[in-house]
């Protein structure tokens, strides 16, 4: 399975896939935080770092089987200022959508998972409309 992890952080997506027993052929990661990348590379030397999601059109990827990631949540979190898509970090959700749609052109059967925080229904509805799915709530402590 070829995996593309957007907003990869310290590559917890790789850990989840390993724990689920899913064999990963290639794992591509988009992340800009240098500390997160350093931890990812220390724990998973085979991850291919792609850099900034805003430069996704420059990536030369093979067929991707699953896209995972969690776009920045600061604009949606009740702990934040609730700027929703007016927050320059949370608006990166639309980059996730663009990448996913581009990959769907190559592989219409691509799977995806988008992680985020609990948020107001009006913002959740926008995300659901763009992805054409209804979200499910998963207890992250499990």
Question: For residue 135, what are its two tokens?
Answer: 């979200």
Q: For the chain, what percent of residues have pLDDT higher than 90?
A: 63
> According to the model, what pLDDT value does residue 88 have?
67
34 band by pLDDT with thresholds 50, 70 and 90: very high
Greater pLDDT, 127 or 89: 127
- Please confirm, yes or no, whether 12 is among the known catalytic residues: no
Show me where the domains of the chain are located: 2-131
11 has pLDDT over 90: yes
The pLDDT of residue 60: 95
Residue 129 pLDDT > 60, yes or no? Answer: yes
What value does the CA radius of gyration of the chain take, rounded to a whole number of Å?
15
Give a three-class secondary structure readout of 9-78.
CCCHHHHHHHHCCCCCCEEEEECCCHHHHHHHHHHCCCCEECCCHHHHHHCCCCCCCEEEECCCCCCCCC
Matching CATH number, 2-131, of 3.40.50.150, 3.40.50.1980, 3.30.365.10, 1.20.140.10: 3.40.50.150
Catalytic residue among 14, 73, 100, 119: 73
pLDDT digits (tens, 9 = 90+) for 58-105: 999 999 999 999 876 665 666 667 667 666 666 788 999 999 999 999
Residue-level pLDDT at 125:
82
């Amino acid at each position: 399975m070829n995996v593309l992890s957007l907003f990869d952080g310290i590559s917890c997506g790789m850990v989840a896939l390993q724990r689920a027993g899913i064999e990963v052929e290639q794992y591509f990661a988009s992340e800009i935080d240098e500390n997160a990348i350093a931890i990812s590379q220390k724990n998973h030397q085979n991850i291919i770092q792609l850099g900034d999601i805003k430069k996704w059109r420059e990536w030369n990827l093979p067929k991707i089987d699953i896209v995972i990631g969690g776009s920045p949540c600061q604009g949606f979190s009740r702990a934040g200022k609730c700027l929703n898509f007016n927050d320059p970090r949370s608006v990166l959700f639309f980059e996730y959508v663009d990448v996913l749609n581009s990959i769907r052109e190559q592989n219409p059967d691509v799977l995806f998972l988008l992680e985020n925080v609990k948020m107001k229904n009006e913002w959740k509805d926008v995300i659901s409309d763009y992805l054409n799915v209804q979200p499910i709530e998963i207890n992250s402590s499990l």
